[in-house]
């Protein structure tokens, strides 16, 4: 995986540098210029994914599967389009290393989703998802793994092993919105247990 990321980042950097040269201005209409532009644009979603993942690991100290809450302006400083009054929660997961991901979505005013490494949507959750804000149990499978055909879950499949889960509280009352987001849970319980325990509250392991 490190080799893969090194290749993607290197490709993006080389393409970006080539766009800044005088030679590119003269050849941008040629095949080489078009390929450099395409390589740069193609790599952006994966490089952005990796950058946020590294922030969770290194800045917040959050392991894959631990949900980080973004509450204050300081928390959201690295985000591009946050609302000051909205609470967000995010987590990363490696389907190859950790197995299928289970997401418990509480009933209430929230909306979020799961993206693959290229930031392509796998599913929405909450009011914009198939649970329609009524709550549900989602199971995210890795590419090529068998479907357990368990009707207890809303089952979806990712096209990549690394995925990103995020949600936000939408309630008008900030306290209610935060309480709803804290009821979310994301873990590997599908592998560990045959039956569902009571949902555990979301706990920020990275922010005070």
Q: Check residue 12 and give its pLDDT.
A: 54
Distance CA 161, CA 156 (A): 13
Q: Per-domain residue ranges for the chain?
A: 2-59, 68-192
pTM: 0.77
Q: Check residue 187 and give its pLDDT.
A: 78
Q: Check residue 28 and give its pLDDT.
A: 54
Distance CA 32, CA 50 (A): 27
Q: Check residue 57 and give its pLDDT.
A: 87
Which CATH code of 2.60.40.1610, 3.40.190.80, 3.40.1450.10, 3.20.20.70 fits the domain covering 68-192? 2.60.40.1610
DSSP 60: S
Q: pLDDT per residue over 7-56, tens digit each?
A: 455 555 555 555 555 655 555 556 767 777 788 888 889 988 998 899 88
Q: Which residue from 84, 82, 88, 95 is spatially nearest to 69, judged by alpha carbons?
A: 88
Q: Check residue 26 and give its pLDDT.
A: 58
- Torsion-angle region of residue 103: left (phi > 0), alpha (psi -120 to 50) or beta? beta
Q: Check residue 39 and give its pLDDT.
A: 81
Low-confidence ranges of the chain (pLDDT < 50): 1-3, 7, 191-208
């Amino acid at each position: 995986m490190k080799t893969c990321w090194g290749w993607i980042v290197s490709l993006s950097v080389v393409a970006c540098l080539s766009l800044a040269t005088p030679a590119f201005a003269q050849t941008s209409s040629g095949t080489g210029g078009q390929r450099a532009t395409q390589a740069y644009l193609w790599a952006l979603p994966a490089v952005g994914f990796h950058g946020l993942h590294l922030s969770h690991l290194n800045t917040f100290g959050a392991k894959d599967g631990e949900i980080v809450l973004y509450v204050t302006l300081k928390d959201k400083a690295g985000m591009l389009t946050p609302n000051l009054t909205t609470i967000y929660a995010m987590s990363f997961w490696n389907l190859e290393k950790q197995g299928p991901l289970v997401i418990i979505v509480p009933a209430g005013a929230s909306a979020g989703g799961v993206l693959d490494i290229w930031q392509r949507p796998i599913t929405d959750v909450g009011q914009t998802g198939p649970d329609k804000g009524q709550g549900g149990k989602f199971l995210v499978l890795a590419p090529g793994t068998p479907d357990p055909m368990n009707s207890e879950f809303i089952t979806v499949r990712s096209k990549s092993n690394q995925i990103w889960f995020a949600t936000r509280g939408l309630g008008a009352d900030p306290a209610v919105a935060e309480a709803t987001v804290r009821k979310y849970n994301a873990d590997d319980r599908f592998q560990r247990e045959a039956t569902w325990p009571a949902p555990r509250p979301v706990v920020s392991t990275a922010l005070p």
